[in-house]
Every structure is written in C-alpha cells, then in structure tokens.
Amino acid sequence: MRTKYIRGHIMLRKEFSEDILSGRKTTTIRLGKIIPKTHEIMIHSGGRPIAKALIKKVVYKRIYELSEEDAKKDGYESVEELVKSLEKLYGRSIDMNEIVTIIEFEVIKKFTELDEKDVYMGLTPLEIAMISNRYLRDELSENDFRIIDAILRYKSIRAVSLKLYGSLSKRWLIRKVLRKCLYRLMRKNIVKIRNTVIEM
C-alpha cells in the first residue's frame, strides 16, 4: 500500500460544509495511509475554502475496527453508511481489512465569518497566498505569481521583501498584490464576506 501525503489542503464534499462549520463533523476518513505534512490545514468544500483547521490527531485502523462513534464524527449515521460512501467515492468495493486514516481536526477560523474592517478581511497574507495559489494560479501575472509563491515559501511580507528586493522598502508592492488577489477571490465568490460591497 502506497502512503499519501496531505500538504495543507483537504477537499470535502459540499454536503458536509455546514457540519464542518458547526463542529458536528470533526474528522475525515480516507482509504489508505495518509500522512499530513502540516498541523494546520485549509478545508475546501463546494469549490471554495470554508475554514482553517488544526489537525488534532491521526489514527490508522482497518475498516472492521471502525466504531459507530468514528462514523458519527465523520458525518454518518453508521459504519455501514460510511463504508457505502467510501465505496461510492473510490468507485470500488472495499475489503474490511483495508486500512483507513482518520484525521481529526478542529476548525480555528471560518472563512464565512471574515472581518470586513480588517485590511485583509481577517485573513493572513499566508492564507491569501494559499487560496490564490489554488484558485487564481492560471490568471496571475508572472510578477504576482512570483510574490504569491514567495509568500508560500517564506511565510511573511517582511521575509519576502528581503528575499525578492533586498530591502524592506518594497513591502507595499507585496501588500498591493495580496489585496488584488483578495478582491479577485471575493469577486469570484471563492471568499465570501457577508453584506460587503467590493470596490477597487
């Protein structure tokens, strides 16, 4: 069995969005051995990011070891319903001896409750870069992509300014690209702010 890795993003079906945001769904169960590369993840559902979460625990079990509690934490009424869903998702029948990974998470920021008074609507520069890299990658200019990529690598505006320009005096350029990306994400309804009129 091949090990797979999660690198900061988890995709979940749209039907689970409300359960994730309300705290009723606190795990995702995946076939095979999955190893998260980071403790913080961005959860995507329905074609957009909905939350940032901390991974609390990763457990490996065989299908036959799954409990009703495991199924309920993952949003299902029973283990049988969970297994049927996994079979549908993976497009094949599942052996009861197969290994699954249970990733338990806790939502720490809901992207449906962003602060419109904040310069970046409550998102950090790194969060904007992560979302932009996933949803705007093909439409970014070469320069904008270079800045977004640098934020993903160096994690802060200060570090990016020093790495790309050799000085802190160009931080305004990085902030400008972040604001431009954020407005594009809002216009495309990838990031939603309630009752906000977007102006450029």
pLDDT tens digits, residue range 61-97?
A: 999 999 999 999 999 999 999 999 999 988 999 999 9
Evaluate if residue 98 carries a pLDDT over 80. Answer: yes
CATH at residue 95:
3.10.400.10
CB–CB of 32/92 below 8 Å?
Answer: no
Task: Decide if 117 is inside a domain.
Answer: no
> CB–CB of 42/9 below 8 Å?
yes
Using one digit for the tens of pLDDT, what is the confidence trace for 80-90?
999 999 999 88
Closest CA to 111 of 178, 58, 47: 47
Q: What is the pTM of this model?
A: 0.72
DSSP 81-111: HHHHHHHHHHTS---TT-EEEEEEEEEEEET
Rounded to an integer, what distance in angstroms lies between the CA atom of residue 94 and that of residue 102? Answer: 16
Q: Is residue 20 part of a domain?
A: yes
Pair (38, 105) in one structural domain = yes
